[in-house]
Structures are given as structure tokens and as C-alpha cells.
Structure 1
Amino acid sequence: MSRINCPQCGTLDQVRSVPSIYESQTSTYAGTSTGYSSGVAYASGVGVIPSFGSSTVHTSGSSSSLLASHIAPPPPPRLAQPGGGCGLAVVLAFAAAWGVILLPYLFTSGDKDAGRNAAIMFTVLGGPFVFAAVMMLINRAKSRRQAREAFQSHSVVYPSFATAWSAAYLCLRCHVAYVPEGALATGASPAVPVHRFPDLVATTAARLRGEM
């Protein structure tokens, strides 16, 4: 018996490697469509004249079967970018606006306490925006640190996940996935239903890393 025979039905004719099945059931597409329209328009001094127009739409993307979605490869590590940049810009703009509004008072009022009064007014009116901006900056720094830590952690384990995924096979007759004997140093894995394929990859990857 071949080492890649299905452990459930014992046959080989419907056994395929997971990467080959995923590739065959995933496709990308790109295209361009052009539409035309006609009508009438009114031009000053001319009157009603015919008008024509066209529009072009570019589309692209990918599609996959339900089976391909179950056996999708582990996502590669990507460094996530923290959000909130637009909100921070708006808050800083409001704080700056209050400063600009108070500048004429500071230089033209002639009041000897103009500086103190302007500082008090800015603290009352613009202070909440400054406080919000500081808190948003702290939160962005925290999010950036967490994203970097998550990226580094995933980068460490990703090779084992990719290796486990590449070594897996699927029986299209029984709809079970498994890692056959001899494919990896971890030995054969038990067959699992297709919907539990991510668990199979995670378990095999943990064994490759010596954690099980």
C-alpha cells in the first residue's frame, strides 16, 4: 500500500495533495467592461443636440470553492498598521484651530494679562482636544507595539504551518484530510473531516516545533 493511501477507505485514486486541490479550485480574474450611452442635451444658442458617452469599469479579484476555503493555506505574516490616523488628524486640527483663533486676541487686545487669559481660554476650549490627541497617540503606540509583537510571533511559527499544510493530503471520496506516513518526521496523522483541516495543520505544526 502506498504511503499516501487514504487511511479511511484505503484507496489511492481519489487522493490529492492539498496544495494541488487548492490551486485547482482557486482562480483569479481581471477584466474591463465598457458601456455606452446616448441622449440629448441643451446647448445655449444651439438648442437640443444629441449627446453620447461611454464609461469603462475595471474589475479584478479571486474566487474559490467551499472546499478551497476549508483548506486555504495559513496566512503569511503581515505587519498590521494601526488605525486612527484620520481621527488623530481631525482632533489636532481642532486644537490648532483654537490656537489660531486666540492668537489675534493675544497680540491685539492690549491687555497686560492677555497671555494668561489666552492660555486659560485655550486650556478650557482646546485642552480637551489636546488631551484626546495625547490619548490617541498613546493608543496608536500601544497598537503598533502589539502589532509588531504579533508579527514577530507569527513569523516564528509560520514556517511550521506552511510545512504542515504542504505535506497534507485529501481524499476526495471520503472528504478527510491527513498527513501520510513518511511525509514529515512527525509521522502520520489521523484523518480528520475537511472542516477540521485547520486543526490538523495547527497540531502538525506544533509537533514540528517540538511543542507536542
Structure 2
Amino acid sequence: MSATCPQCSASDQSVAVPHALAPTAEPPLDEPTRALLAPPPPPQPGRHRSVVAITFYSLSGVFAVFGLLSVTKSFREDLEGAETAELIAYFVGTLIVPGFLLAVGLIAHVVSRRRHERRFVENYGLLHTHWQRHQHVWQAAWFCRRCRVAFFPDAVLRPDFPASPPIRLEQFPLWVVTAADRAHGFPNAPVAPS
């Protein structure tokens, strides 16, 4: 099967996007083009940041710095003649608050990360369904080697789905998402810019 490019009106250089990215495709695509035409990534949990944990880590660092500065200043002035037990008690007392804050930060981080992972697992079914729709649309896309544009032929996604205009490669990932929303029952989805 071949599809006619909406920009040059020829089909001799048009190829389905999955075939254009195949390792055996001739001529091979350059890396920037391959990256722009890459399939949609599967759902991932994403980066996790706990503001509470970061706050406690920061406070722990601040208290540790001030505690160590206090110890070095006091060591020169007051503690030169102190016994070993007094020195140990002074150092331990200086590090208790930063250690406590660090422990609270670690606990907050673990609790927040587990909550984040649990939320991802609970929503995985919906995320996977959206990813499958994006994958279906991506597989239906075509690429014109001559014009270096992507496009969707007429009725490739549904019988009533119109052909797309030429799509610049930088906008191709957004078109895949938008076309998936429109083709799979989200009629009010925004139209991707051309």
C-alpha cells in the first residue's frame, strides 16, 4: 500500500512511519528525524519529588552547618580543657537536631514515593489504554522522504477521519496525541497546530 503525500502529491517516497524507522529501511533516517518520529513511550511512573522531604533535608543541612560552626568556635574557646565525655556530649548534642531532621526527611520521602507508585499502579489501566490509542495512531502515520513531513491518509484511522495536512516533524508527537483523542471518541479534543 502507498499513500500520497499532501505536500508533493506523490507516493513514490511515502512510507509508513514504522517502516521508515525499521533498522533495514533504505536510506536510513538521521538520528534527529528518528527521534521526532519515534513511537509514543509506554506509561512510566515519572519523576518523584517530595517537597516535604526536600524541606527537611535542607533544614538538616542548615542545622548541621551551624552546629559544626558552633562546635569549632566553642572548641577553640571553651572546650580546650574539657574531658572526653563532655566533648562527646557536645558533638552528639550538636548533631541530634540535624540527624532527627534527616530521619524525618527520609521517612517523608519513602511515604511520598510509595504513595506516588500506588497512584501510578491504580491509574495504569487508563494510562495503558491511552498509550495503546497513541500507538495505534502512530502506526497509521506516513512519512514522505522527499518533503520530510508526516501525514495521515484519508480514512486511515476511521472511515470518517479526514486526511491530515502535511505535518512538520517537530509537531508530529502532538498530532499523534490529538489524533488519538479525536479518533477514539474525544470529539472536543483540541486540534493540533499545522
TM-score of the two chains, using structure 2 as the length reference: 0.59
Structural RMSD (CA): 3.5
Tell me how far 1:82 sits from its aligned partner: 5.6
d(CA) in 2 for partners of 1:201, 1:80: 21
Counterpart residue number, 2:142:
169
Secondary structure of the structure 1 residue equivalent to 2:39: coil
Of Structure 1 and Structure 2, the greater strand share is in 1
From 110, 124, 130, the counterpart of 1:157: 130
Tell me how far 1:156 sits from its aligned partner: 3.6
Tell me how far 1:24 sits from its aligned partner: 3.3
Contact 2:17 2:138 in 1 (8 A): yes
d(CA) in 2 for partners of 1:176, 1:14: 11
Q: Match for 1:183: what amino acid?
A: V
Contact 2:2 2:11 in 1 (8 A): no
Counterpart residue number, 2:12:
13
From 107, 113, 117, the counterpart of 1:137: 107
Contact 1:177 1:192 in 2 (8 A): yes
Tell me how far 1:130 sits from its aligned partner: 2.6
Q: Which runs of 5+ in 1 are unaligned?
A: 27-62, 92-117
> What are the residue-to-residue correspondences of 1:53-68 with 2, within 5 Å?
65-68=31-34
Contact 1:17 1:167 in 2 (8 A): yes
Greater Rg over alpha carbons, structure: 1
Q: Match for 1:202: what amino acid?
A: V
d(CA) in 2 for partners of 1:145, 1:198: 30
Counterpart residue number, 2:3:
4
From 179, 183, 186, the counterpart of 1:208: 183
d(CA) in 1 for partners of 2:156, 2:40: 19
Secondary structure of the structure 2 residue equivalent to 1:170: strand
Counterpart residue number, 1:128:
98
Counterpart residue number, 2:54:
none
User: Percent identity between the aligned chains?
Assistant: 30
From 136, 155, 158, the counterpart of 1:182: 155
Tell me how far 1:72 sits from its aligned partner: 0.8
Could you say which structure has the greater relative contact order, defined with CA pairs below 8 angstroms and 6 or more residues apart? Answer: 2
TM-score of the two chains, using structure 1 as the length reference: 0.55
Deviations 1:52-73 (A, max 9, x none): xxxxxxxxxxx96221111011
Counterpart residue number, 1:22:
21
d(CA) in 2 for partners of 1:138, 1:155: 29
d(CA) in 2 for partners of 1:189, 1:200: 10
Q: Match for 2:40: what amino acid?
A: P
Of Structure 1 and Structure 2, the greater helix share is in 2
Contact 1:81 1:144 in 2 (8 A): no
Cα distance 1:196–1:159, how it changes in 2: closer, same or farther (>3 A)? same
Contact 1:81 1:147 in 2 (8 A): no
Counterpart residue number, 1:192:
167
Contact 1:76 1:158 in 2 (8 A): yes
Tell me how far 1:136 sits from its aligned partner: 2.4
Cα distance 1:144–1:4, how it changes in 2: closer, same or farther (>3 A)? farther
Secondary structure of the structure 1 residue equivalent to 2:21: helix
**Size of the alignment, in residue pairs?**
143
